[in-house]
Amino acid sequence: MTRKIAVCRREHFNAAHRLHNHLLSAAENEQLYGKCNRPNYHGHNYELTVKVTGEIDARTGYVLDTKQLSETIKEHVLDKLDHNNLNLDVPELQGINPTTENLAIAIYNMLRPQIKEPQDLKIILYETERNFVEYPA
Amino acid sequence: MTRKIAVCRREHFNAAHRLHNHLLSAAENEQLYGKCNRPNYHGHNYELTVKVTGEIDARTGYVLDTKQLSETIKEHVLDKLDHNNLNLDVPELQGINPTTENLAIAIYNMLRPQIKEPQDLKIILYETERNFVEYPA
Amino acid sequence: MTRKIAVCRREHFNAAHRLHNHLLSAAENEQLYGKCNRPNYHGHNYELTVKVTGEIDARTGYVLDTKQLSETIKEHVLDKLDHNNLNLDVPELQGINPTTENLAIAIYNMLRPQIKEPQDLKIILYETERNFVEYPA
Amino acid sequence: MTRKIAVCRREHFNAAHRLHNHLLSAAENEQLYGKCNRPNYHGHNYELTVKVTGEIDARTGYVLDTKQLSETIKEHVLDKLDHNNLNLDVPELQGINPTTENLAIAIYNMLRPQIKEPQDLKIILYETERNFVEYPA
Amino acid sequence: MTRKIAVCRREHFNAAHRLHNHLLSAAENEQLYGKCNRPNYHGHNYELTVKVTGEIDARTGYVLDTKQLSETIKEHVLDKLDHNNLNLDVPELQGINPTTENLAIAIYNMLRPQIKEPQDLKIILYETERNFVEYPA
Amino acid sequence: MTRKIAVCRREHFNAAHRLHNHLLSAAENEQLYGKCNRPNYHGHNYELTVKVTGEIDARTGYVLDTKQLSETIKEHVLDKLDHNNLNLDVPELQGINPTTENLAIAIYNMLRPQIKEPQDLKIILYETERNFVEYPA
C-alpha cells in the first residue's frame, strides 16, 4: 500500500503578544487592531497541530514516531515560544507582527528543516477556540 | 511568501427545523427521516466554521480581519438563522429541505458575495458533535 | 470503605422550544425573553449529565451500572424529549415554561422514582456550551 | 418547589501576566515560579464560569436571566481584564500577584455586589485546559 | 448544484493493544515502541470520524443518511473492534501491528466496500486527543 | 481572606482492563459486565482531575504549586497506571475489580498521603467522555 497518510500531533504553548506594524502610525495601528494593539500585551493559550504526510515505514508501522515528533516540536518551537513574549523574546519573530497567520508561517519555517523530504508539513494553529489558521492551505 | 493560508472563524446559532420533502407523501417522509420528520420540529446548536483561503496582506499581517469576518457572518448568516425556525422563518431557505447539506450550501451562498475574489470560501457545519458537513468538499 | 462516591452518565437530546409564560401578555413575554420568545420556536442540542451518589456494591464494584442507568435515562427522559417540541409534545411539560431551570427540574422528577433510595440524584443540563444549570444545587 | 438550583454562565478573556511577588527577591521569584516569572509576560485564554445559586422566580422561570448575567460579567469583569496585562492594567489587581487563585478571588469581589442576596456566587476559572480553580470551594 | 460536499460521522470504540513487530527482536521492539510495547497491553478510547464525499441526492437532501452510515460503521467496524484486543481478537488485524496508521487503513478497508462509488471515503482516527491520523491524506 | 479555594489539575493515562469479580462464576461475570468482561481486555484514555482544597499561602499566592502537584501525580499515579494493564500490572490494584469507582478510590489512596493536612482531596475520573465518577462525593 503506497497511498499517503497524515499523522498529526497536537501541542500547546502560552505566550503574550500585541499586534503592531511598526511601519504604521500609532493611530493606524489602533484603527487596524483595536484592543489587540494595547501597549502592555495580552496573551493566549495557543493550540498547535503539526501534520506530517508521507508513506508508512513497513518496519515501524509509523509515518513517523509521534513521540519523536513531540520532542522535535518541543525543541524547535515550544522552547522558543512557550511562556515568552512573541514581540520581544523570540529571535525568529524579530520584526514580524505576530498575527496568527505570521506566527503559523514562522512555526512552519522552524519545523520544515526537521521533517524529512518528501514528507509534507502543515501547521494548524488555534489562537482561541474560535480563531485558527492552516498553513499551507 | 506567496503561498496561501486559510483563516477560520467559528460561530454558532440555535434553530428549530424538521426534515421534510414537500414533493413526497407523509409516509415517504416518515420512512426517509424518521423522528427528524416529526411535525412540531426539534432543534440544534449549530456550530459553524467559515474558512477563507488567500494570501496575507503585508500591511495588516492578516488574510482578513477575523473580527470583521465575525461581523459579516453575524449580518449575513446569524441574524437570519439564529433563534429561528429553518422551515418557516428564513426567506433564503424557502422551499429547501433543511438537511445539514442543504443548509451548508445556503450559508455558502449567503457569504460568497461578501468574500473578496480570489479568496476561497469553505463552510464546515456541525449539526451535532457527531454529524457535520464540509462544503465545498 | 463506606464513604460515598458519585457516578455520572452523560447523554444528549435535540429539541425545539420557545420561552413563553402564558400568564403574561405578548409584550411582556417579548420584553422578558427577546428572541427566545419567537413564535416558531428555535432549538438546542441539550447535554444532560445524571449524577447518582451512593455506596459501592461490593459484589459488582459499581454504585450502579451505567449501562442500566443509560437505558433508564433513555426510557424515562430521552424517549419523551428527544426530537420533540418541549412546548407542545411532552405531557410532563404541559403548562411549564421550558427554561433550562424548569426543564432540569422536570427531568429530575422523571428520574427520581427510578433511582433507589438512599442514593442521591443530581441533574446537570447544558442548553448551550455557555449556559447550564445544576439541580439540586 | 423551593429547593435551590444553580445557573452557570461561561465567558472567556485573553490576558497577559507574570507571576511575581514584589516582597521577594528576583532569585526567590525565579525559584518559586520558574518560567511563569519571566519578565516580559506570557498569557492565557482564560475560561470563566460564573455560578449563581438561588430559587426560581415563578414569573420568569429563571433564577436570573443569563443574558443579563453575561452583560454584568462583561461590564464588571471582562471590560477590565480582557486584552489587558493583569500586572499593569487593572486597578483592582494592583499589588496582587495574579495567580489563578488570586485572580478568581478578585473576580468574585468584582461580581459579588452585582448578585442579589441571598443568591450564592461561585467562580470557576480555567487558566489552561489542565489548571483551574473554584472559589469559594 | 453539482459541486461535491463531504458528510462526516463521528463514532468511538474502546480497545486494548500493544505495539509489536513480530519480525523484530524483543530488544528492538522495546527500543522502537517503549512503554507502548509492554506485554500486558494498554488501551485507548478511539475517536473515529468517517468522511464520505459525493453529490447530494435531490430527493433526500442527503449525500447519504448519517443514521444508516452510523449503522454501517457499527456493523463493519465497531462490532469487530469495540471492547476487544486489537492484537488478539480481530481477524482483519491478524499479523498487523496496530499502530494508529495501520488501524486507520484497516478501518478504511472494512468500510470501502460499503460506500457507493463514486463517493470518496476518508478515515480520521484519534488514538488520544493529541495523536491522530487521516487516511488517505 | 480565609475562605477555602479548590485547585484542580487534569492529567491522563492510557490503560487496559477488564471487569471481573474473581469470587463469581464466569457466567455471573458475563451476565454482570457483558463486553466489559471479555478475556483479552479492552482499554481507555482515562482523564483524571485531582482537586485539592485549602487556604492560599500568602507568600506564593498558591494553595499548592500545580507544577509540583503534576509531578506528584506522575510519580504516585501515572507511573503505576499509564500504559499498563490494571488487572495484571499494578500492585496497588491486586485483587481489586477495576471499575471506575474502585479505580478512583485506589487513586485517592495513592495520593492522600502526598497532600498536606488539612487540605482536602477529591478525585474526578473519566473512563469515557460519558462515564465518570467523583470520590469522595
Contact: B41, C43; criterion CB under 8 Å:
yes
Q: State the pTM of this model.
A: 0.98
Mutate to test the interface with E, among F37, F40, F47, F88 (most CBs of E within 10 A): F40
pLDDT in tens, F2-52: 689 999 999 999 999 999 999 999 999 999 999 999 999 999 999 999 999
Task: Specify the pLDDT at position A88.
Answer: 98
Residues of C in contact with F105 (CB under 8 A): 1, 5, 56
E54 within a domain of the structure (yes/no): yes
Do at least 3 CB pairs under 8 Å connect D with F? yes
What is the spatial distance between Cα C108 and Cα C93, in angstroms, rounded to a whole number? 12
Q: Any chain B CB within 8 A of the CB of E99? A: no
Structural domain of F102: 4-17+45-135
Task: Specify the pLDDT at position D113.
Answer: 98
Contact: D42, A16; criterion CB under 8 Å:
yes
Q: Any chain E CB within 8 A of the CB of B68? A: no
What is the spatial distance between Cα F96 and Cα F77, in angstroms, rounded to a whole number? 16
Residue C85, Cα to own-chain centre: how many angstroms?
A: 14
Cell triple for C115 = 433511582
CATH number of the domain bearing residue D77: 3.30.479.10
Mutate to test the interface with A, among E100, E105, E124, E129 (most CBs of A within 10 A): E100
Contact: A11, E101; criterion CB under 8 Å:
no
> Which residue of D lies nearest to C109 if distances are taken between CA atoms?
D1
B83 within a domain of the structure (yes/no): yes
Which segments within D1-137 are labelled E, that is strand?
5-17, 42-54, 84-85, 120-128, 131-135
Distance from CA of A82 to the nearest CA of D (A): 8
Please give the radius of gyration of chain E, using alpha carbons only, rounded to the nearest integer: 17
DSSP at E62: B
Task: Specify the pLDDT at position C7.
Answer: 98
Task: Specify the pLDDT at position D50.
Answer: 98
pLDDT band at A95 (very low <50, low <70, confident <90, very high): very high
CA atoms within 13 A on the CB side of C78: 19
Mean pLDDT, rounded, for A61-86: 98
pLDDT in tens, E114-136: 999 999 999 999 999 999 999 99
Q: Any chain D CB within 8 A of the CB of C62? A: no
> Which residue of C lies nearest to B44 if distances are taken between CA atoms?
C44
Residues with pLDDT less than 70, chain D: 1-2
Q: Any chain A CB within 8 A of the CB of E7? A: no
Task: Specify the pLDDT at position E70.
Answer: 98
B23 within a domain of the structure (yes/no): no
The phi and psi torsions of F25 (rounded to 5 degrees) equal -75, 165
Task: Specify the pLDDT at position C135.
Answer: 98
Write down the ipTM of this complex: 0.96
pLDDT band at C30 (very low <50, low <70, confident <90, very high): very high
Q: Any chain F CB within 8 A of the CB of C12? A: no
Contact: C101, D9; criterion CB under 8 Å:
no
> Which residue of A lies nearest to D84 if distances are taken between CA atoms?
A42
B114 within a domain of the structure (yes/no): yes
Contact: D61, C19; criterion CB under 8 Å:
yes
Contact: C137, D10; criterion CB under 8 Å:
no
Domain count, chain C: 1
Is there a catalytic annotation at residue F83? yes
Cell triple for C128 = 448551550
Task: Specify the pLDDT at position C81.
Answer: 98
A55 within a domain of the structure (yes/no): yes
A94 within a domain of the structure (yes/no): yes
E36-48: buried (b, 16+ CB within 10 Å) or exposed (e) per residue? bbbebbbbbbbbb
Identify the active-site residue in E11, E30, E36, E47. Answer: E36
Collapse the DSSP code of D16 into the 3-class scheme (helix H, G, I; strand E, B; otherwise coil) and give the result. strand
Residue E70, class by beta-carbon neighbours within 10 Å (0-12 exposed, 13-18 middle, 19+ buried)? middle
D76 within a domain of the structure (yes/no): yes
Q: Any chain B CB within 8 A of the CB of C85? A: yes
F16's CB contacts (< 8 A; 6+ apart) are: E16, E40, E41, E42, E43, E85, F41, F42, F43, F84, F85, F86, F87
Q: Any chain F CB within 8 A of the CB of E94? A: no
DSSP at D57: B
Collapse the DSSP code of E58 into the 3-class scheme (helix H, G, I; strand E, B; otherwise coil) and give the result. coil
Do at least 3 CB pairs under 8 Å connect A with E? yes
Distance from CA of D27 to the nearest CA of A (A): 18
Identify the active-site residue in C83, C92, C101, C134. Answer: C83
pLDDT in tens, A115-131: 999 999 999 999 999 99
Task: Using the structure block, give the residue that is written with the C-alpha cell 402564558.
Answer: C22
C125: left (phi over 0), alpha (psi -120 to 50) or beta: beta
**Cβ atoms of residues D127 and D46 within 8 Å:** yes
Do at least 3 CB pairs under 8 Å connect F with A? no
B108 within a domain of the structure (yes/no): yes
Whether A10 shows a pLDDT value over 70: the answer reads yes
Q: How many CB pairs (< 8 A) connect A and E? A: 59
Which segments within B22-86 are labelled E, that is strand?
42-54, 84-85
Question: Rounded mean pLDDT of chain C?
Answer: 97
What is the spatial distance between Cα A80 and Cα A68, in angstroms, rounded to a whole number? 18
Residues of D in contact with F51 (CB under 8 A): 134
Percent of chain C predicted with pLDDT > 90: 98
The phi and psi torsions of A123 (rounded to 5 degrees) equal -115, 130
Distance from CA of F25 to the nearest CA of E (A): 20
